Each structure stands twice: as C-alpha cells, then as structure tokens.
A = this chain, B = another copy of it.
Amino acid sequence: MNYSVSEENYIKAIYNLNGNKQPVSTNALADIMATKPASVTDMLKKLKTKKLIIYQPYQGCKLSAEGVKVALNIVRRHRLWEYFLAEKLKFEWNEIHVIAEELEHVSNPKLIERLDEYLGFPRFDPHGDPIPDHEGKMQMLKQVKLTQLPLHTPAKVSGLTDQSTDMLELLRHSNICIGTDVEINRKFGFDHSVEIKIPGNPLFIISEQAAQHILVHHE
C-alpha cells in the first residue's frame, strides 16, 4: 500500500506514456526515467510481483487496475501541489513542475485531503490538466488551442503553451487568466485573428499567434 519514491516515479512514467493504451516499451521508460534499460527491467519485475503492472518479458508493460489507481493518486498529489505553488505561493507556471515532483511523494492522505479543501477543490491544475478527485475520478473536458475552439462555444482558459513574460504581459492586458470564461465571437479569415467575448468585458481581438498558445476547456 506504500511505495518507494522510485516505484512511484516508474508508475507515474508508465501512466504518462500509456495514454494511448499501448504497452510501454522498456527503452521508452529508460528514456523518460533517465536510466538504463537494464535498470528498468529490474524495476518492471518488482512492479509485476506487486501486481501494479502487467508485464511479460520482451512484451512491454502496462498498468494493472491497481496500478492505475496508484498512478491517479500520484497525479492528484502532483497537480494539487502545482495548484498550490502557482495560486498561493505565486510561482510562475514553468517553475512549479519540478517542485511538485518532490512534494508529490509526501503521501500522508489526510494532508492531501486538507490541501484539496484549502485550495477549494480545484478541478484543473495551472497547466490545464484535470486533477483526479480522492476516488481517482477526473473531469474529462476537451482541451484545445483557442484557435480551434468552435464559434460561440463557452470555454474556460486552462493553460498556456508559452509562458514568456511577453505572453503574460499580453494576457494581463486582455484580462485573461487561468479559469477565465471565454467564447469566440468571430474569426477573421484574413489573418486568422479571433474576436473574444469575456462576460462583463468589451469584445476584443487577439492575434492567431497569441491564440495558438492559449489552451481552453469546453464540453
């Protein structure tokens, strides 16, 4: 029921590579974990005996049902800490991941429940990724670039793919933050710029270049 930091990191890596449900190769894991394939094989054997993965030699691996549960719990911890770092400690979005990698291994369950409550039960982290609840369920909204959002479709800003100060300046000027409700009112064919509607604000136009880097969630 309690796993080492190393085990947790492998489980997390398998989970992240496994999005497509295809088995994860030993080399791919070695790459992500910045280690050697031989070391990965050792760990895969161990995780297999603990029934966290399904693994046959030379066939790659994938998480078992129990493994997914463990992975979701790690992801939950990681994303809650990311939210805390950005929202409360005012870290920039590009700094939070590394720190959360350390904090995520502090696994006291009551701590995580209290943190969740303290943060107001956020459902998305500052990168726009959904935060699993204490049962492992998470909201699976479509995340798309603002350029791909259909016309007149209510959406919520969930992340950025560019966190440069120039970008942040532009967003601040437009009153766009994580969580802001937006809708595309009109698209201009000429330069592909888009007209944005934010409830309570006047309409305004944003360039394709900028819109490309803004991620939004919608149903």
| A interface list, Cβ under 8 A from B | 85, 88-91, 95, 98-99, 102-103, 106-108, 110-111, 114-115, 118
Cα A108 to Cα B81 in complex, Å, equals: 14
How many monomers of this chain does the complex have? Answer: 2
Max chain B C-beta neighbours (<10 A), residue from A90, A108, A110: A108
Q: Are B99 and A111 in contact (CB under 8 A)?
A: yes
**A interface SS class:** helix
- A sample of 19 inter-chain contacts (CB < 8 A) reads A85-B111, A88-B118, A89-B111, A89-B115, A89-B118, A90-B114, A91-B110, A91-B114, A95-B110, A98-B108, A99-B106, A99-B108, A99-B111, A102-B106, A102-B107, A102-B108, A103-B103, A103-B106, A106-B106
Task: Please indicate the chain B residues that have their CB under 8 angstroms from the CB of A111 in the complex.
Answer: 85, 89, 99
Task: Please indicate the chain B residues that have their CB under 8 angstroms from the CB of A90 in the complex.
Answer: 114
Q: How far is the CB of A45 from the nearest CB of chain B, in Å?
A: 25
Q: Are B114 and A89 in contact (CB under 8 A)?
A: yes
